[in-house]
Chains A and B, each alone.
Chain A
């Protein structure tokens, strides 16, 4: 009985909306745009966040990355040129051993050296980063080998001149050949290519100078790196020549579970503090898990920001509805009087007007959701197109906008808000209508 009555009231409300179709559609547009904005904003934020999360997860949620930090440029050049000796900084094999032995539950410790070199094959040459590392590096970082094999313990022991090429390097050096089985020159030695990695793409965190560019790297056994390249790295730039000595550039520590990440990171920091020069902080501990959590917080900031902006347009839409409804109530004063005389209770009048606003805003929301989804799909394409037309590189910015994700939560939020806006904006006009004195309303011209 009750549902039958609500159906009747709903039918009456919809009927009344059709009395002024243009007015109803225009009023609805405010909500439609608001909902579209909510969906699109959340989709962009969600897309960026998902991409960044993948990035962090690629570094490994249970990894702790200890990096060598080169002392600041001015400091290093004055020191190096003044004394004429090589700059000594960074992590050491001793650090790696200490970490290995002092952290309980440490599964893997991965030391690595990074040496910028030129890789050559016949006439092709390319600047690469040679990474001297250990056979379990790929497991720690989840690196996929596309062809051939990864470095082995045997390679380490034999100090073998073998290398695994990043996808970008392989493509640049061997545009038309299969690289596995060929030789590549790194510095003064030739290395046998044993494997090629699957393409992984660039780390999007471009602000991070240590961010690994997996595609532009060549991996060789750590032992070979130490022996062939020595401890001294020569930097030649603009006629200047500087030397630096850095045993290890990176030590990755993989712990068994996420709960152990924080304590382990604290122990590592403590160890390094004890054994390194306190005046020259030449190391840094990065915890991807912490970045993931920071990311989560940043994401919420963006969600709140985006939704607030969208909320303003919903607010404006709501004000539009309220405005139209107030006008409509005045215009229909006589009708209200008639209905009251015919037995309508205040409640009936309230529901009649409330139904109209809720139907308006809900329909606006229901139409706005697909429009928002379409917008979310179109945004990355439009941005890419605009960027190419303007010739703007902004690759990093583009790549973070290249994905938009519409979550069910966003749709529910948008729809819920539109219904709520309908109720809130309808309550006052409906109340005004219901409070009218039937006698006066009947006499209203």
Chain B
């Protein structure tokens, strides 16, 4: 079943009065349910823009993005927020945890905006903390956690609202290789359980784990190989 479909997607930025940057020029991509996809490309290739569009953080200049059967290319800011909250799970290179919140509180942030009751939130966050292997570190603040632990919190947070797609942006970029391997093992595990994962990276090691690798250059997809 097709989860996400990008049709002739373009994105143009206007920097100042005369400078026009064409970050994406007609991207076509289909993501099937349960797929584990790596998006690779040099910096400036447009892969970040692609990720922002797929994460509904931004709207395309033209073309269509169909997510879970709904065309989300022209939604309002509030509607896009709703889609992000329900269907997207973000994992960032720099973890992006809220420093004053504990690990459990951080995991609950997406649930907070879904209007889920405090007790239910706590039940789910504890379960997820357990699942990503945080154990007794769950009541600590990000400052007191190692990079690997922080990324586990971020993964638990991305899973908390049970999204259609997990979007990871260089998830191992800030980690040493051993910890990076552990995180990738966690990804493999999630993929094996049927999660749809899209990882933006330029780490070729990740590419060897994924079902398919999409290479982006100059705002278009240059190759599209299944592993």
Contact = CB atoms under 8 A, between A and B. Distances in A.
Interface stretch (B27-35, B66-74, B82-90): B82-90
A438 B57 CA distance: 7
A348 B78 CA distance: 10
A345 B81 contact: yes
Interface residues of A, number: 25
B77 A341 contact: no
Given A8-B118, A335-B98, A442-B92, A342 B113 contact: yes
Interface in B43-59: 52, 55, 57-58
A341 B90 contact: yes
A1 B114 CA distance: 12
Contacts of B55: 341
A334 B161 CA distance: 21
B77 A342 contact: no
A227 interface: no
B81 A439 contact: no
A346 B90 contact: no
B109 A442 contact: no
A342 B58 contact: no
B110 interface: yes
A342 B92 contact: no
B77 A348 contact: no
A392 interface: no
A8 B113 CA distance: 10
A343 B100 contact: no
Contacts of B109: 338-339, 342
Nearest to A18: B100
B152 interface: no
A335 B118 CA distance: 20
A19 B100 contact: yes
Contacts of B112: 8, 12
A1 B86 CA distance: 19
B96 interface: yes
A267 B112 CA distance: 77
Interface in A407-445: 438-439, 442
B92 A343 contact: no
A339 B101 CA distance: 12
B18 interface: no
Nearest to B55: A341
A342 B52 contact: no
Interface string B127-157: 0000000000000000000000000000001
B82 A439 contact: no
Contacts of B193: none
A338 B157 CA distance: 11
Contacts of A8: 112, 118
Contacts of B204: none
Given A341-B90, A343-B85, A439-B52, A348 B113 contact: yes
Interface in A1-40: 1, 4-5, 8, 12, 15-16, 19
A339 B108 CA distance: 11
A337 B85 CA distance: 13
Interface string B96-118: 11111000000001101111011
Nearest to B154: A338
Given A19-B100, A342-B84, A1 B90 contact: no
Contacts of A346: 77-78, 81
Contact of B90 (A335, A342, A348): A342
Contacts of B90: 341-342
B84 A16 contact: no
A12 B105 CA distance: 11
A85 interface: no
B100 A341 contact: no
**Top 4 nearest A-B pairs by Cβ distance?**
A343-B85, A343-B113, A342-B110, A345-B81
18 contacts: A4-B117, A12-B112, A334-B96, A337-B96, A338-B96, A338-B97, A338-B98, A339-B98, A342-B85, A343-B84, A343-B110, A343-B113, A343-B114, A344-B85, A344-B113, A345-B81, A347-B78, A438-B57
